[in-house]
Amino acid sequence: MSETTTMTRRDPEEAGAPAGREPADRALVECESLVRIYQAEGIEVQALQGLDLRVEPREVVAVVGASGSGKSTLLGILSGLDTPTAGRVRVGSWDLTAMTRAQRVTYRRETVGFVWQQATRNLLPYLTAAQNVDFPQAVAGVPRAARAARTRELLAMLGIEECADRRPGQLSGGQQQRVAIAVGLANGPELLLADEPTGELDTTTSAEVLAALRTANAELGTTIVVVTHDPGVSEHVRRTVAIRDGRTSSEVVRSTRTRDDGTEHTVAEEFAVLDRAGRVQLPREYRAALDLVGRVRLALEEHQITVRSGREN
Ligand SMILES: Nc1ncnc2c1ncn2[C@@H]1O[C@H](COP(=O)(O)OP(=O)(O)OP(=O)(O)O)[C@@H](O)[C@H]1O
């Protein structure tokens, strides 16, 4: 911890890169062995139990997990609202475990944007869509003309120009969430965090909102982390990370491959995640299929490691 408490905003040069440039392999988000313990009425709840996560610049990642798996806790930490009990977390040049209150304000204004599930949390009801997008820019001190241009550009990019002069109450749920994405992007954050952004929407409208996030990623290069309990979201992103019991347990990576006849198809590959301590979680169905419980036998073979039942046979 001493290393992280002495240095907050890390200069890329200090990290071994020329000023203004990041080394090619540097992730935008790096969480290492994150632990978050809540104390509630004398009871300890371990919401995160040593979570590891890397998100590369310009990536769109879905973090999927059941209720209570620790997703909102992770987002709270990445958004700078909460701090972990132990572990390391870096976003860009910010060490989130060691920021002062003032640095947190700057981080939240400049580096991250948010989209929450409830439209009421994203938008001020008495302002129009354009005024909502203008507001965070005004707070950041952006001149009026530049704000107006940025607002127009964002609403056009997300296909909601016609909503500019309407208040949230006069917009559909999907339009509200697209305005919320524009608000989240208003100050050009490197990272956009979305907590169940489609939670209150039907399938078609959800697909539109996810498409809007992909547009933001493609047009502006914004890195996006979407947290959801909806496994269907993974069909809309290249990489999905599953969290179970406060730890990353598996990842699904989608890629487009070309067949011999030139047609393209999408392949989804599932990976288990090996953490820094060498732990890997075996999927429940694999354990059930071989009735693996308690001790198991491990064997290192030429190109693989096998896991067998530990019972005598
Ligand atoms: N402020 C808190 N005080 C005590 N326990 C908490 C607090 N916040 C979350 N928890 C507990 O931490 C665990 C993880 O919660 P978290 O909200 O991060 O999960 P989640 O995956 O986002 O769930 P959901 O999808 O239901 O929002 C749960 O057991 C939850 O009850």
224 Cα: distance to centroid of ligand 1 (angstroms)? 22
Residue 15, domain member (yes or no) = no
Residue type, 310: G
The pLDDT assigned to 21 comes to: 42
Residue 248, domain member (yes or no) = yes
313 in the same domain as 199: no
C-alpha dihedral sign at 62, 64, 70, 73: positive
pLDDT tens-digit profile of 104-149?
Answer: 999 998 899 999 887 778 899 999 999 999 999 999 999 999 999 9
Whether ligand 1 lies within 6 angstroms of the CB of 198 is answered as: no
Whether ligand 1 lies within 6 angstroms of the CB of 69 is answered as: yes
In the chain, the number of structural domains is: 2
To test ligand 1's pocket by mutation, which of 43, 48, 72, 247 has the most ligand atoms within 8 angstroms of CB? 72
Residue 163 three-state SS: helix
The pLDDT assigned to 205 comes to: 86
Residue 16, domain member (yes or no) = no
- Please check whether residue 220 is in contact with residue 202, taking contact to mean a CB–CB distance below 8 angstroms: no
Burial of 89 (0-12, 13-18, 19+ CB in 10 A): buried
297 in the same domain as 191: no
Whether ligand 1 lies within 6 angstroms of the CB of 39 is answered as: no
Residue 11, domain member (yes or no) = no
Nearest Cα residue to 185 out of 122, 245, 275, 266: 122
219 in the same domain as 127: yes
Domain limits at 295? 282-313
Nearest Cα residue to 109 out of 195, 194, 186, 9: 186
**Phi, psi of 239, rounded to the nearest 5 degrees:** -125, 130
106 in the same domain as 244: yes
Residue 168, domain member (yes or no) = yes
287 in the same domain as 264: no
Whether ligand 1 lies within 6 angstroms of the CB of 38 is answered as: yes
147 in the same domain as 265: yes
**Tens of pLDDT along the chain (313 residues)?**
333 333 344 433 344 444 444 455 689 999 998 999 998 888 888 899 889 999 999 999 999 988 888 999 999 999 999 999 999 999 999 999 999 999 999 999 889 999 988 777 889 999 999 999 999 999 999 999 999 999 999 999 999 999 999 999 999 989 999 999 999 999 999 999 999 888 877 888 888 889 999 999 999 999 999 998 887 888 888 899 999 888 887 788 888 888 888 888 888 777 888 877 788 888 888 888 888 888 899 999 988 999 988 886 6
251 Cα: distance to centroid of ligand 1 (angstroms)? 22
The pLDDT assigned to 199 comes to: 81
Residue 187, domain member (yes or no) = yes
- Please check whether residue 168 is in contact with residue 179, taking contact to mean a CB–CB distance below 8 angstroms: yes
Whether ligand 1 lies within 6 angstroms of the CB of 203 is answered as: no
Q: Which ligand 1 atom minimizes the distance to the CA of 246? A: 14
Closest residue to atom 17 of ligand 1, CA basis: 72
Residue 14, domain member (yes or no) = no
Q: Which ligand 1 atom minimizes the distance to the CA of 74? A: 18
Quote the CA–CA distance of 247 and 261 in Å, as a whole number. 41
- Please check whether residue 12 is in contact with residue 22, taking contact to mean a CB–CB distance below 8 angstroms: yes
Q: Which residues pair with 48 in a beta bridge?
A: 36
Whether ligand 1 lies within 6 angstroms of the CB of 80 is answered as: no
Q: Which ligand 1 atom minimizes the distance to the CA of 72? A: 22
Query: The sheet that has 264-272: what strands, in order across it?
Result: 112-115, 191-195, 223-228, 60-64, 239-244, 247-258, 264-272
Number of residues assigned to the chain: 313
88 Cα: distance to centroid of ligand 1 (angstroms)? 20
68 Cα: distance to centroid of ligand 1 (angstroms)? 5
245 in the same domain as 128: yes
186 Cα: distance to centroid of ligand 1 (angstroms)? 29
The pLDDT assigned to 259 comes to: 84
Count of other CB atoms within 10 angstroms of residue 60? 22
Residue 256, domain member (yes or no) = yes
Quote the CA–CA distance of 165 and 131 in Å, as a whole number. 8
40 Cα: distance to centroid of ligand 1 (angstroms)? 11
245 Cα: distance to centroid of ligand 1 (angstroms)? 11
The pLDDT assigned to 25 comes to: 64
The pLDDT assigned to 76 comes to: 93
308 in the same domain as 228: no
| Residue owning tokens 């009735």 | 291
Looking at residue 161, which CATH number applies to its domain?
3.40.50.300
108 in the same domain as 234: yes
Residue 87 three-state SS: strand
Helix (H) or strand (E) holding 241: strand 239-244
To the nearest 10 degrees (0 to 180), the angle between helices 144-157 and 129-139 is 130
This prediction has a pTM of: 0.83
